[in-house]
């Protein structure tokens, strides 16, 4: 709706680069694992971890142009959407049509609520999680897709525009200043009414979608993500560690994330620029793109997620985790150093 991806001309390069950064890694992984259960891990090297990649990039501070941060963000978002769709359509169990129909019913309820002007995020939380998400979970279609579908129904519009909000706030603040205080810690009845009106107009000036996103961010960033990473990143260092490191699964993941991401992102970007279908954002050089292509190989949390969906054999799970957490880290350091000198 807004930002880099809202304008097709500006969005084509990062979206296409993100797509190339998914397809090439998957193909390289399949070159190492063309048959058997290991074949199912082709989705592991496809995803970029937005939080980790941007975290590394922001360590560089003002040494890089803001347009590069926007480029990586847009690329990672496109990549993340692709990864969620891959999970939903390729890493699913048998589909229960009855549960899927129930999910469609709850989706309809959310849509009707949107059309009727329901803006209470509790409504969308209860119906979206207790209804739509649970139905998709029971249907066999991976529940990650329910998150995207539910998000589409949450209102993303405001009840009052900025100019109207500013006028109301100025008038209410003026009224509050002119009200007579009662010289104690409790507010007067008039002051309470003014503050309630300020609260009402403040909520009306916010979109429910942004309110929910803003409220969830601390929980996700500081609790959900760390707990998920700590709970799923366990790697057993045993006598078979070296053997696991050079296994086809581990090598497929390493080559996919390190080489595949680089070739896919840089290759597609160069083709589009060469054909004049897109241009590099202002202030970005090809050396910046090379560094970002390496940083995009950080697939940590999404790779963990897809690993647990793709494999049942504990050996393959360990080999996959070794793949995206070992040699890959050194290559990301190279990407960091390239950007630092760019």
Q: How confident is the model at residue 328 (pLDDT cuts 50, 70, 90)?
A: low
pLDDT (0 to 100) of residue 50: 78
DSSP H or E run through 271: helix 261-274
Give the distance, in angstroms, between the CA of residue 69 and the centroid of all CA atoms in the same chain. Answer: 15
- Give 262 or 228, the one with higher predicted confidence: 262
List b or e across 318-339, with b for residues whose CB sees 16 or more CB atoms inside 10 angstroms: bbbbbbbbbbbeebbeebbebb
C-alpha 90/C-alpha 141 separation (Å) is 9
Q: Determine contact, residues 106/132, Cβ cutoff 8 Å.
A: yes
C-alpha 342/C-alpha 338 separation (Å) is 6
The dihedral over CA atoms of 332, 8, 82, 23, expressed in degrees to the nearest 10, equals -70
Give the distance, in angstroms, between the CA of residue 158 and the centroid of all CA atoms in the same chain. Answer: 24
pLDDT (0 to 100) of residue 126: 93
Residue with tokens 């969308």: 124
**Which two structure tokens, joined as six digits, stand for 311?**
């494999």
Give me the residue spans of the domains in the chain.
Answer: 4-92+218-341, 95-141, 162-206
Residue in 337, 341, 335 with CA at minimum distance from that of residue 72: 335
Entry field: residues in the chain = 342
In the predicted model, is pLDDT for residue 128 greater than 70? yes
pLDDT (0 to 100) of residue 133: 92
Write out pLDDT tens, residues 60-69.
777 788 888 8
Ramachandran region of residue 161, left (φ > 0), alpha (ψ -120 to 50) or beta? beta
**Which two structure tokens, joined as six digits, stand for 131?**
């209804």
* CATH homologous superfamily of 4-92+218-341: Na+/H+ antiporter like domain (1.20.1530.10)
Q: How confident is the model at residue 172 (pLDDT cuts 50, 70, 90)?
A: very high
In the predicted model, is pLDDT for residue 73 greater than 80? yes
DSSP state of 205: T
C-alpha 309/C-alpha 82 separation (Å) is 16
C-alpha 318/C-alpha 322 separation (Å) is 6
Write out pLDDT tens, residues 286-315.
988 998 888 888 877 778 888 888 898 888
DSSP H or E run through 226: helix 225-232
pLDDT (0 to 100) of residue 333: 66
Helix locations, 33-143, DSSP H: 50-58, 66-90, 97-115, 121-125, 134-139
Write out pLDDT tens, residues 208-241.
999 988 888 888 878 887 777 777 665 555 556 6
């Amino acid at each position: 709706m807004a930002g880099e991806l809202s304008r097709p001309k500006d969005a084509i390069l990062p979206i296409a680069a993100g797509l190339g950064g998914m397809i090439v890694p998957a193909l390289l992984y399949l070159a190492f694992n063309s048959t058997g259960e290991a074949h199912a891990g082709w989705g592991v090297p496809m995803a970029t971890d937005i939080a980790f990649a941007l975290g590394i990039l922001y360590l560089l501070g003002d040494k890089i142009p803001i347009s590069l941060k926007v480029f990586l963000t847009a690329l990672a978002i496109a990549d993340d959407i692709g990864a969620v769709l891959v999970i939903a359509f390729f890493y699913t169990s048998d589909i229960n049509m009855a549960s899927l129909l129930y999910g469609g019913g709850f989706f309809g309820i959310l849509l009707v609520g949107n059309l009727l002007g329901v803006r209470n995020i509790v409504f969308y939380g209860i119906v979206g999680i207790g209804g739509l998400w649970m139905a998709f979970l029971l249907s066999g279609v991976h529940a990650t897709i329910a998150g995207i579908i539910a998000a589409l129904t949450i209102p993303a519009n405001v009840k009052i525009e900025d100019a109207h909000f500013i006028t109301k706030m100025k008038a209410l603040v003026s009224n509050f200043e002119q009200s007579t205080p009662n010289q104690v810690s409790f507010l007067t009845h008039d002051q309470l009414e003014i503050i309630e009106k300020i609260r009402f107009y403040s909520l009306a000036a916010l979109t429910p979608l942004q309110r929910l996103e803003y409220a969830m961010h601390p929980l996700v960033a500081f609790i959900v993500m760390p707990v998920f990473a700590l709970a799923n990143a366990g790697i057993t260092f045993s006598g078979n560690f070296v053997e696991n490191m050079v296994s086809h699964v581990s090598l497929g993941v390493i080559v996919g994330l390190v080489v595949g991401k680089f070739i896919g992102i840089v290759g597609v970007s160069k083709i589009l620029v060469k054909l004049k279908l897109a241009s590099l954002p202002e202030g970005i050089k090809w050396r910046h793109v090379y560094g970002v292509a390496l940083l995009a190989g950080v697939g940590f949390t999404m790779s963990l997620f897809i690993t647990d969906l793709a494999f049942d054999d504990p050996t393959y799970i360990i080999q996959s985790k070794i793949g995206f957490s070992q040699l890959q880290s050194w290559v990301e350091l190279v990407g960091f150093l390239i950007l630092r000198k760019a």
